[in-house]
Amino acid sequence: MSKIIMTKPSESGIALGGIGAGSVELMPDGEFHYWQIANPPRMTDVCWERKEYDGESHTGALSFWVRAQRENSRPVVRRLGMKTDQDDFSYRMFPWSKPVEKIIFDGRFPVCEIEYEDRALPCRITGRAVSPFVPHHSDISAAPGFYMDFEIENTQDSELTLSLLGTLVPEFCNKGGCRNIPGKDSENINITLYPAQKTDAPDCGEVCLSIGGDGEKSCITGEYRRFMREYIFDDDKFGVSQESVLFGFRETGCLPDSEAVTPPPDIPENSESLSEEETDRLFNIYTEYPFAASVLQRIRDVNPSFPSDRDEKLSFLRSLRAQSRHIKPEEFGAAALCSTVKLAPGEKKTVRFVMTWYFPNHFSKDGRRLGHYYENLFSGAADVNAFLRKNRADVFDKAVAFSNLLYNTDLPEIYPECWSGHLNTIIKCSWYLKDGKFALWEGQGFCGFHTTDITYHASFGLLALFPELQLRQMRMGAAFQRDDGRVHHFFTPDLDHVDNGFDRVDMNNQFVLMVLRDYLYTGDTGYLSDMWPHVVSAVDSIRALDTDGDGLPDRDTKRNTYDAWNFSGTTVYISVLWLAALKAAAQIAGEMGDNARAFGWNAILEKGLSSLEKRLWNGEYYNLWLSDSVKDESLMTDQLDGEWFLRAAGIGGNICDKRIKHVLQVILDNNFDPDSGLINASCPEGRQTTLFTHKNCQAEAVWTGIGYVTAALCLSVGLRNKADEIVGSIHENQARFGLLWNHWECGHHYTRPLSSWTTLTAALGLKVDSAKKTIGFAPVAENITLPLCLPGILGTVKVKNGSVSIHITQGSIEGWTVLRKR
């Protein structure tokens, strides 16, 4: 009996698409999954756990095949993917069409490298898929499309003929079928699929596939969907055969260059009434379609003179009409593109595909058309395709360069994998509307958009790469601040309405911290000025929760981001956040010239820090909460969250590093296990807990976003080995579940784990003040290389024997003061 080694297949991959434009997901099986480009409910509506349409049923809509043939040898055909559904092609009958033997997948968002291996292929084939994710260019990065390149190398000692076939079967859109229009220039062929009937349906829109690069190009402009996979032709007179584009591809290595753009006209039921001229016309029309030409060729293989008269032509037409269960007008519109190259021994060539789309019918629940930002940039799918082809150097090359930049580090690869991997979520979970509004889902189809307590953890990378989008969603949220100073929780069901979650007491503090960080990164004084009144109201609102004047909130502290875990009285999580917010607010007040407020808030900060020690410090760590005579001494992992943000933003902490380091050691000794990860809380032996915490579902949960927060804080105080263990555990657990690029908390593709970016800022020891043009570093090692990403700036920081050098690849720091803290 043969032994089979089975491992958990991956259920996540690299998102291909633009910001707010929808995406498809290229997974390690080489297939394109989760077709979320045509406004599916999972992208446009709050679905929660409902099994709403998410595009997964259309895996295989875009498929690629290779045909390789050596001189005087039979061709070898392989699918460049692992999909083997019976309705795709009957592998049980035609094993020559099998998938490649092995795929080596290297996902480094926004790039995905794939090696296809098969012992029967006399060549080396690699694929490279690239999203148009170009830092500091949100317009380019909103383009609805992606690149798919294939590089082929002849590994034999004789000439090789190789063909690459791409098929597009658009079952995910345009329920009435498509009408396809070809376009050609000296280097490319493109086919645009338009809706047969233009409606306001969300899935009504355009798709365009193009082919360029090396080789002789051929195409099928328009065809029935089933022919691009397979169907059974069944006729009493002409026999039974399986029909598919793959048979002709296997035989010739090219496509027939058919240019049909619409379905053929109906064949009348009473075809005997057709005149000879009408019969000839219909026969000639139908035989221009590959689905019919394929059947005709099979007949002529046996009877070369067919058809010899009108009756035989009518008989043939009637046989085609009888296939109506497979050949339906509403299923017309599939397309195929092919390139054939000849390769000398050792020669390499590249075939390039570009896939784009245009689906403007994005509506709010109240019926308003929201649209997509890309409508302001492009007129249709063909326009997007032409843009991506023409501007390859500014899109493809820069996206690849950014991916390479993130991996240019001496840190273990688990770090750049978490930096790049979670940027994937920006594509998967973004709304970028026609009117310019932008926000991220909290979890795709879960909760809402721009959730304040999640944006707080998740927005460092967004701010560094697309600062205008972060500032835009912050302004959008500030407009919904309540009269009592409470900031919004999340937007739902669109970006013009919010929920009633104003009672979460952590959010005002987080809002203030984000405002200062955003200003330090961008130097945008207009933004700071606009947000200043909101900062004042936010601080005053939380200050009113201090009933005993000790500098710490102690009333209405129950609700927070841990929304199934109730706190009471003076809580460590809220207190540390509040003290961090006071420090940030005082600095903002200084920038605004309000010295009185700065002085007053600093005085509260000093008093609050003293009270924190008196009320919550137990000699080992800070107790969870104290309310009158009742206390919960549970050990919360996230108790120093406010300190994490102060350090990650380069503001500087309130609590000394020695204390932070000690508390982290206690947390990791009690709450972290390399196999299961870092839980949110425990109650050490001999300590007192409450029913609110004991075996609470969130206290015992592992939230990877908080894991990254803790790892970043470890890096900032010199616990490098501990940080490595935490990040490594997250990586291992997600990989074992097949969800490396899809972290779950409250919904798939949850945004809190974008906090992983702060392990980069912590490793750099980054401190930036763009308004004052100063940048400082306190790297985690005396010899290390790390990427540098700031608004308008990309580069590399190299530290050698403690000496810092900066190589800028985009933007400039000319005139800036560079500080190095030892």
Contact status, residue 591 vs residue 565, Cβ threshold 8 Å:
no
Query: Helix, strand or coil for residue 321?
Result: helix
Q: How far apart are the first and last CA of the chain?
A: 63
Rounded to an integer, the average pLDDT of 691-710 is 96
Residue 86 reports pLDDT greater than 90: no
| Cis peptide bond N-terminal to 307, omega within 30 | yes
Query: Helix, strand or coil for residue 315?
Result: helix
Residue 229 reports pLDDT greater than 60: yes
Split at pLDDT 50, 70, 90, the class of 100 is: very high
Contact status, residue 817 vs residue 775, Cβ threshold 8 Å:
yes
Please report the pLDDT score of residue 481 as a whole number. 98
> Which residues contact residue 214 at a Cβ distance below 8 angstroms, ignoring those fewer than 6 apart?
339, 341, 349, 350, 351
The label of the residue with tokens 């048979």 reads 247
Closest to 638 (Cα-Cα) out of 697, 704, 722: 704
Query: Helix, strand or coil for residue 761?
Result: helix
d(CA 219, CA 338): 6
> Which residues contact residue 271 at a Cβ distance below 8 angstroms, ignoring those fewer than 6 apart?
279, 314, 317, 318, 321
Q: Which helix (H) or strand (E) is 23 found in, with range?
A: strand 23-26
Closest to 65 (Cα-Cα) out of 56, 74, 75, 73: 75
d(CA 198, CA 205): 8
The label of the residue with tokens 């009158």 reads 628
d(CA 820, CA 733): 36
d(CA 463, CA 760): 14
Please report the pLDDT score of residue 83 as a whole number. 84
Task: Quote the percentage of the chain above a pLDDT of 70.
Answer: 98
Rounded to an integer, the average pLDDT of 595-618 is 98
Task: Quote the percentage of the chain above a pLDDT of 90.
Answer: 88
Higher pLDDT, 54 or 141: 141
Q: What is the DSSP letter of 783?
A: S
Amino acid identity of 756?
A: S
Contact status, residue 536 vs residue 484, Cβ threshold 8 Å:
no
Residue 270 reports pLDDT greater than 60: yes
Contact status, residue 117 vs residue 104, Cβ threshold 8 Å:
yes
Burial class (CB in 10 A: 0-12, 13-18, 19+), 435: exposed
Q: Which helix (H) or strand (E) is 586 found in, with range?
A: helix 572-592
Q: What is the DSSP letter of 99?
A: B
pLDDT tens-digit series, residues 638-680: 999 999 999 999 999 999 999 999 999 999 999 999 999 999 9
Contact status, residue 136 vs residue 810, Cβ threshold 8 Å:
yes
Residue 221 reports pLDDT greater than 80: yes
Rounded to an integer, the average pLDDT of 381-393 is 98
319-323, 448-452, 585-589, 768-772: which has the minimum mean pLDDT? 319-323
H-type helices in 306-413, by residue range? 310-321, 381-390, 396-406
Rounded to an integer, the average pLDDT of 512-522 is 98
Burial class (CB in 10 A: 0-12, 13-18, 19+), 784: middle
Which own/partner contact pairs does 299-306 have at CB distance under 8 Å and 24+ positions apart?
Answer: 299/238
pLDDT tens-digit series, residues 745-803: 998 999 999 999 999 999 999 999 999 999 999 999 999 999 999 999 999 999 999 89
DSSP-derived pairing of the beta strands 774-777 and 817-820: parallel
Query: Helix, strand or coil for residue 273?
Result: helix
Residue-by-residue DSSP string for 52-68 = ---SGGGTTSEEEEEEE
d(CA 121, CA 96): 12
Please report the pLDDT score of residue 237 as a whole number. 93
Contact status, residue 318 vs residue 271, Cβ threshold 8 Å:
yes
d(CA 542, CA 521): 26
pLDDT tens-digit series, residues 622-639: 999 999 989 999 999 999
Rounded to an integer, the average pLDDT of 177-202 is 94
pTM equals 0.96
pLDDT tens-digit series, residues 391-430: 999 999 999 999 999 999 999 999 999 999 999 999 999 9
> Which residues contact residue 97 at a Cβ distance below 8 angstroms, ignoring those fewer than 6 apart?
77, 78, 79, 89, 91, 246, 250
Bridge partners of residue 112, in order along the sequence: 107, 129
Residue 548 reports pLDDT greater than 60: yes
Residue 208 reports pLDDT greater than 60: yes
Rounded to an integer, the average pLDDT of 240-256 is 94
pLDDT tens-digit series, residues 459-488: 999 999 999 999 999 999 999 999 999 999
Amino acid identity of 241?
A: S
CA 476 vs. chain centroid, Å, equals: 23
Other C-beta atoms within 10 Å of 684: how many?
16
CA distances from 194 to 60, 175, 181, 354, 737 (A): 20, 11, 8, 17, 39
Pair of tokens at residue 492: 């739902």
Backbone φ and ψ for 699, nearest 5 degrees, come out as -65, -35
Give the E-state strand segments of 615-758 in sequence order.
Answer: 625-627, 630-632, 635-636, 672-673, 677-678, 681-682
Closest to 150 (Cα-Cα) out of 77, 212, 72, 237: 212
Query: Helix, strand or coil for residue 544?
Result: coil
Backbone φ and ψ for 250, nearest 5 degrees, come out as -65, -40
Split at pLDDT 50, 70, 90, the class of 52 is: low
Pair of tokens at residue 508: 């005002």
Q: What is the DSSP letter of 377?
A: T
Please report the pLDDT score of residue 89 as a whole number. 64
d(CA 508, CA 489): 10
CA distances from 774 to 467, 585, 768, 788, 797 (A): 18, 20, 6, 14, 15
Split at pLDDT 50, 70, 90, the class of 51 is: low
Residue-by-residue DSSP string for 124-155 = EEEEEEE----TT-HHHHT-SEEEEEEEEEE-
Closest to 357 (Cα-Cα) out of 585, 531, 506, 170: 170
Q: Is the Cα dihedral 476, 479, 484, 485 positive or negative?
A: positive
> Which residues contact residue 152 at a Cβ distance below 8 angstroms, ignoring those fewer than 6 apart?
66, 123, 124, 125, 162, 164, 341, 343, 348, 349, 350, 351
Query: Helix, strand or coil for residue 212?
Result: strand
pLDDT, averaged across the chain = 95
Q: For the CA atoms of 210, 212, 216, 219, what is the dihedral angle to 10 degrees?
A: 0
Contact status, residue 425 vs residue 442, Cβ threshold 8 Å:
no
| Cis peptide bond N-terminal to 493, omega within 30 | yes
d(CA 800, CA 477): 43
Other C-beta atoms within 10 Å of 257: how many?
14
Other C-beta atoms within 10 Å of 464: how many?
24
